[in-house]
Chain A
Amino acid sequence: MLEGFSLFVKALWGFMTPGILFDVLWATQLGIIVGMLPGLTATMGVALMTTLTFHMEPSNAVLILVCMYVGAIYGGSRSAILLNIPGTPANAATAVDGYPLARQGLAGRAIGIATTGSFLGSAIGLIMLAFFTPLIGNFALKFKSFEFFWLAIFGIVICGNLTAPKDPLKGWISGFLGLFVATIGMEPYHAYQRFSFGYMDMAGGIHLIPAMVGAFGFTEIITVMKHTRMEVVKGKIDRIFPRMSDIAKYWKGIIRSGLVGTFIGAVPGVGEDIAAWTSYDLAKTASKEPEKFGKGSIEGLLVAETGNNSAVAGAMIPVLSLAIPGSAPAAVLLAAMFIHGVRPGPLIMIEFPSFVYQVVAMVLLATTAMFVLGLSMVRPLVKVLSIPREKLMPVVFVLCVIGSYAIQARMFDIGVMVVFGIIGYFMREMDYPIAPMVLGIILGTILDKNLIRSLIISEGHPLYFVESPISMVIAGVTLMTFFSRTQWFRALKSKIGSFIRSQVLRSSKPG
């Protein structure tokens, strides 16, 4: 613990140079602007920034990406409050109470509350990041092929389940399509080119960044351009600096949302939006004033922002310890780390022990910059929201194109971006979530290698797959998650419930 703290202090001290602090400020500010503009998501911001930081020192590049990530997730609250349109999907819950507050003439107060909630959420998340990453990393050293196989399946099932709560089946299909996409190209055992049909570019496989820029960026451009224009709430921005009484009154909700948000952020592929909604729902259930939720509740706004920003740090826990992203922007961050020669995963505490604490220091710097910039640059930034989408979207698409091309200088990647953008749009229209597909592309390699290794070791015996206690637990949770959403399971559950109730009633009758 002490060693970890000293590594953290050393990392933080190492970042205290004017050049790096300047990087922190501009990257966080840019993140806030990206987040607040509908059509520019955190994922897209981090993906585009990956191409811009390609030639930088690894620690500087990752720092800028973390600042972009933290800033964008917070920045989305601005448009959620002023436009009723979440800048990023993570801020959808913010709009529920933020916009009514703005309509009541309390836009400044709402922005102040959202900023404080985001700051506190990030702070809770970074404490958890510092504490749990080494623990999980050390525990993951015990993982073998069977455990990694189950972890990949678990990621897809849980992500599909949570990103498509109404119809998890579509989430799972999306995830398995992503796993399939990852099998395109040269396979690792015999160097056979799968599904490449003789094309050299296909033999190299579908890379994450262009697929992701397309699935999140181009899809968003099509969606934004399809819909009608939005109106900014007009009127003077009132007091921005939050009242201490507002924060102190809801301290329980803040801590609960911080912990829940971090936990959900750490679940593979699930992301900040689910963290915000879960925090919001829990707060509404526990609140003394549930009737105010949806009509401009300070508590609702505070917990939603605490939840989504704590998920940012949470999403980095599996990135660093297991090399599995907790959210879509974290997936790009993971890819960027690989590009810069850092290899996250179970061996990180052996190979790069100081890097984990460097990331904690990065989150702290980004969070502090977000808090300061969030409270100080409100009025000029509101003007950014009035840029018409017709003017903004072509610039965004130009960046999507060059961003997809820049990393490998392949024209093929631009095509991949366009195809995934169009597929992503139709998937979204038909309620197929995109996040599981992207997670599938990332987990596909892990699944491919570890399933084959497991099959070779076990010679195809299924019992080997659940032989170790860790495999058994992950497999059990995965299967429970899967079957708990089936109709016959729900019917069985209600039958068991009514049987137990009848037994209890019978035993409680006198005589």
Chain B
Amino acid sequence: MKPENMPKADFITSILLMAFGIWVLVHSIQMPRFENLEANPFSVPGIVPGLLGVVIFLLSLVVFLRSLKQKGYRLGINAAVIANASKDASMQRMLVTILVCSFYAMGLIGRTNYYLATFLFVLAFLLVFQYRQSQKQQALGKLIALSVLQAVLTAGAVGAVFRYLFLVELP
């Protein structure tokens, strides 16, 4: 992130963190105190997370006040900024990476056969990131063939090593 944008980022994250600290504190206070079991009042479940919630809130408050001083509240978010950000190549690569990986880990794994899920993920990842519009038909064929080969090898090798060598039940 560019240094000039850091106060803005700090402004938003500190608000989220302060809210999180308060949420932790409120939840901790609401936890049972086992008075009916004559539990020691210092052993109640909410005491440690409650204190941590207070500390997180206070530290985030300092970040918040500092961001106010640096005029971080001037977010300057408008349609043009959002449009520029969405066109940014590195931003697109980051989002695609998160999406493809998350879909494999939380969408495919456990619902599809492990070997098939891994094959599809590796193939999709390779094709998405290696495909270029300008690529010639011949090069594209080679790219697909090599990607399929790598996907088959990765799925087969990783699955077999964990299943048969390390005796892990595949998800």
Contacts and interface: CB of A to CB of B under 8 A. Distances in A.
**Are A and B co-members of a single complex?**
yes
Interface of A: 51-52, 54-55, 169-170, 172-173, 176-177, 179-180, 183, 187, 189-190, 192, 194-195, 218, 221-222, 225-228, 388, 390-391, 393-395, 397-399, 401-402, 405-406, 409, 411, 414-415, 417-418, 421-422, 425, 429-431, 447-448, 451-452, 455-456, 459-460
Contacts, number: 165
Nearest to B88: A226
B122 A394 contact: yes
A406 B168 contact: yes
Interface residues of B, number: 64
Interface in B43-96: 43-49, 51-53, 55-56, 59-60, 62-63, 90-91, 93-94, 96
B56 A177 contact: yes
Interface string B1-30: 100001001100100010000001001000
A409 B48 contact: no
Given A190-B45, A395-B154, A398-B154, A169 B63 contact: yes
Given A183-B49, A398-B158, A222 B98 contact: yes
A225 B166 contact: no
B93 A226 contact: yes
A395 B90 contact: no
Contacts of B162: 51, 402, 406
B106 interface: yes
A459 B43 CA distance: 10
Contacts of B161: 52
Nearest to A186: B45
B126 A394 contact: yes
A455 B42 contact: yes
A338 B125 CA distance: 36
Which secondary structure dominates where chain B touches chain A?
A: helix
Contact of B94 (A218, A226, A406): A226
**Which of A401, A447, A456 counts the most chain B CB atoms within 10 A?**
A401
B118 to A, nearest CB: 6
Contacts of A222: 94, 97-98, 101
Given A192-B32, A415-B105, 4 more contacts: A194-B46, A222-B98, A394-B126, A394-B154
A221 B101 contact: yes
Given A183-B48, A192-B31, A401-B109, A170 B63 contact: yes
Contacts of B129: 225, 390
B74 to A, nearest CB: 18
A173 B63 contact: yes
Given A195-B27, A398-B154, A51 B166 contact: yes
Contact of B110 (A176, A218, A411): A411
Given A429-B1, A452-B43, A455-B42, A176 B63 contact: no
Interface of B: 1, 6, 9-10, 13, 17, 24, 27, 31-32, 34, 37, 39-40, 42-49, 51-53, 55-56, 59-60, 62-63, 90-91, 93-94, 96-98, 101-102, 104-106, 109-110, 118, 121-122, 125-126, 129-130, 150, 154-155, 158, 161-162, 166-171
Contacts of A459: 42
A187 B45 contact: yes
B90 A180 contact: no
A190 B56 contact: no
B40 A414 contact: no
Contact of B130 (A194, A218, A390, A414): A390
Contacts of A183: 48-49, 52
Given A398-B118, A455-B47, A54 B62 contact: no
B166 A55 contact: yes
A398 B101 CA distance: 9
B56 A180 contact: yes
Contacts of B105: 397, 401, 414-415, 417-418
B166 A176 contact: no
Contact of B52 (A55, A176, A406, A452): A176
B98 to A, nearest CB: 6
A241 to B, nearest CB: 36
Given A173-B60, A221-B97, A394-B154, A456 B168 contact: no
17 contacts: A51-B162, A55-B167, A176-B59, A180-B53, A183-B49, A183-B52, A190-B34, A192-B31, A192-B45, A195-B27, A225-B96, A226-B94, A398-B121, A402-B158, A418-B106, A429-B9, A447-B48
B152 to A, nearest CB: 13
Given A398-B154, A411-B109, A429-B1, A418 B102 contact: yes
B49 A390 contact: no
Contacts of B13: 430
Of B40, B155, B171, most A-chain CB atoms within 10 Å = B171
Contacts of B45: 187, 189-190, 192, 194
A414 B44 CA distance: 31
